[in-house]
Amino acid sequence: MERGFANATTLEIATRARVSKRELYALVGNKEQMLATCIAARGDRMRLPEDFPEPTDRASLEIALRRYGETMLRELSNPGVIAVMRLGIGEAKRSPGIGKSLDAKGRAQARAALEGLLRSAQAARLLAAADMEEMVFDFYGLLWGMRLTWILLGVDKVPAPKEIERRAAQAAARFLSIYGFSEKK
């Protein structure tokens, strides 16, 4: 983070991690693989818990959307995640692999989790049969608006826990007012 992705050497990383360069390569590979591993680990956290019940009515769907929204806001507000996103933006031309890793190992996993939730809600006839890509885009828009951009620019602060809960509840309610049926059919 201090020197930029391109300028940080694997020797410097190994030294700070207190391992040999050989051990670093054996454990995590090159710099891009190392960063991809870190992104994937965080990406795994951007979903509902494995044992979270599928929604069966509007109330349980609203709870699931709220929980998913809280998870997304909390995980993406993490200082380490913010730093990696800034790194990806700053190194986009020089090291496009960072952005590709953020997309494939972070955003794609989070998106798949939301799609799974929305598809199960559609199958239960709790949501309209609308375009999935548009629904995902709309939910994230309701959840974040332009705030993430301003957080990345350092203009806004990351939301506090109560604000995360409020924003997630508001996004879930608004999303259901757009796509949800008033009762299970």
pLDDT in tens, 119-141: 999 999 999 999 999 999 999 99
The Cα–Cα gap between 52 and 54 comes to 7
Q: Is the pTM of this model over 0.85?
A: no
Q: Residue 180 forms beta bridges with which residues? A: 127
Any domain includes 184: no
Any domain includes 25: no
Any domain includes 121: yes
Any domain includes 9: no
> Which positions of the chain have pLDDT values less than 70?
1, 4-6, 46-49, 182-185
pLDDT (tens digit per residue) in 59-84: 999 999 999 999 999 988 988 888 88
Any domain includes 118: yes
pLDDT at 154: 92
**Domain assignment of residue 72, given as a range:** 33-179
Any domain includes 22: no
Q: CATH number of the domain at 172, please.
A: 1.10.357.10
As for how many domains the chain has, the answer is: 1
